[in-house]
Amino acid sequence: MSKEVEKLVKKLRPNLSIGEYGRIFTDTTEFMKISYGDVIKLQGQHYLVLRDEAERSFGIEDPKYWVKRCIHLESGQRKILKLVFYEKFDLKLGDLAIPCYRSPRKEARILELVRGDKRFMQGISVPDSKGNIVRILDIVSGKRLDHHVFEIQKGHKDYFFHDFPGILEKFIDSCRAIKFLHDHKEIHGDIRRDHLWREYQSGQYVWIDFDYAYEFEENPFGLDIFGLGSLLIFLAGKQIYTGTNLDQLLDQDQVDITLEDKDFSLLYKNRIVNLKKLFPYIPEELNLVFMHFSQQAEIFYETVDEFLQDLEPCIGLIKKEANNEL
């Protein structure tokens, strides 16, 4: 069928040159068989597959074979196609095991709900010939927010007082975006550092990837809020601090710090959340927000509103402290 694909590409994108031509797929069920040079046909539109997407962390690429980087042949625009892939696992939160799973239908609902809202990735959902829900996504022109923050070439104090207040203001707007989902009885489902991006041109923060769901009877929005807390702690610290990397990340006179279990995250047991022990100039009010996500916490945020009620005043406190510290 490669001749058929070649004719299609040359008809719709005559200036496009690819190394080899594959097959046309209308059924995306067996996504592992769909690769470079193939075309996915959905409701009369054609998407030429360039490669599989991958998640990158710690220098390692983890291929996502169900997510395809494509060219929409009719328009020439780059798109990402997320095909149907199901998985289930349990996430440990203290003594609780919370069932988590992928839901293409849930992501399709959210794409419809947030259409036109620049705080979220944009796209549409269409069925393939077998009824699989394929999400056709616009590509976010930017980079992960955590990479942007990590690459700011400043010491922590300079970063915290000069850069972090502006980052925090935009992060709070991103939290309000999550509140918007919760107000509509939806969850993001997978809030973590690589799912909040910063657009190059506008600086807008954009949430991506909504296909995870979870069942948390104690608080239906609880994991989203824990995700926001973990992301906040990263942004405030400019990176992750653990009990084993302090000698590499801090000045020598800071390394001799006594840490207890209560100083670490409830969700990520090796991550330090009590950042005031590392950076005494962090306002106590902000550190108390961090400590809601620690192993010593007895009271947790139940809503984004509660989280923001404590977090929003911290912007002014940091700016006030900046006048005294710098």
Amino acid at residue number 21: Y
Query: Which residue intervals of 13-129 are DSSP H helices?
Result: 104-113
pLDDT per position as a tens digit, 193-207: 999 999 999 999 999
pTM of this structure: 0.93
User: Do residues 311 and 289 touch, judged by C-beta distance below 8 A?
Assistant: yes
Q: Which of 40, 108, 112 is nearest to 70 (CA)?
A: 40
Task: Extract the tokens encoding 294.
Answer: 């620690």
What count of Cα atoms within 13 Å lies in the side-chain half-sphere of residue 306?
11
51: Cβ contacts below 8 Å, ≥ 6 apart = 36, 68, 69
**298, pLDDT greater than 70:** yes
pLDDT per position as a tens digit, 138-188: 999 999 999 999 999 999 999 999 999 999 999 999 999 999 999 999 999
107: Cβ contacts below 8 Å, ≥ 6 apart = 82, 125, 135, 209, 210, 211
pLDDT per position as a tens digit, 215-274: 888 888 999 999 999 999 999 999 999 978 877 766 655 556 788 999 999 988 899 999
Q: Domains in the chain, start-ordered, CATH in brackets? A: 2-83 (2.30.30), 142-325 (1.10.510.10)
Average pLDDT over residues 120-147: 97
pLDDT for 251 equals 61
User: Which stretch of DSSP H or E encloses residue 45?
Assistant: strand 45-57
Task: Extract the tokens encoding 37.
Answer: 């040079």
User: Do residues 287 and 229 touch, judged by C-beta distance below 8 A?
Assistant: no
